[in-house]
Homo-oligomer: A and B are copies of this chain.
Amino acid sequence: MIINPDNVPHRTTSVYPEVFKSRLMGRVKQALGNAVGLNNFGVNLVTLAPGSCSALRHWHLQQDEFIYIIQGEATLVTNTGEQILTPGMMAGFPAAEADGHQLVNKSQAVVIYLEVGDRTPGEVVYYPDDDLIAKSSDDGRWIFTHRDGDLYEI
């Protein structure tokens, strides 16, 4: 199935608990893989307005993640510090590498990139800068807790 991304719905909200949602303002995701009927992995086209970011800085226990820059200048934040990614550059974040990552748009222009992630079950996402842990449930939802295990109010 062929799709022009212009026809794929734009999602501007995040799945994070309320207290974190405002940090994702300016991020737009389009679920390209879902739009063409794929199940085994997800592919999103992500647009970051100036000042916005991809996610809270995080790393995955089970799932690999890949990003490819299409337009603009993205700042990748990891334990290493900040690195600039320009169109045609890519980065990969193998499962279980305990180095949180986040893309931030520190430029004055829009950043557009593709992100790919598999859907290995039993996923846990760690957020080294925040009091947050996410676990995938058997029915495909995310369960967010504090580090002490207490559930966030959604």
Binding site for B on A (CB under 8 A): 1-5, 32-33, 35-41, 43, 63-64, 66, 68, 70, 76, 83, 85, 88-95, 97, 114, 116, 118, 120
Contacts and interface: CB of A to CB of B under 8 A. Distances in A.
Copy count, this protein chain: 2
16 contacts: A1-B93, A2-B76, A2-B85, A3-B91, A4-B88, A5-B88, A5-B89, A33-B66, A33-B92, A36-B90, A36-B94, A38-B94, A40-B41, A41-B66, A68-B114, A116-B116
Contacts of A43: 66, 68, 90, 116
Contact of A3 (B2, B89, B95): B89
A70 B43 CA distance: 15
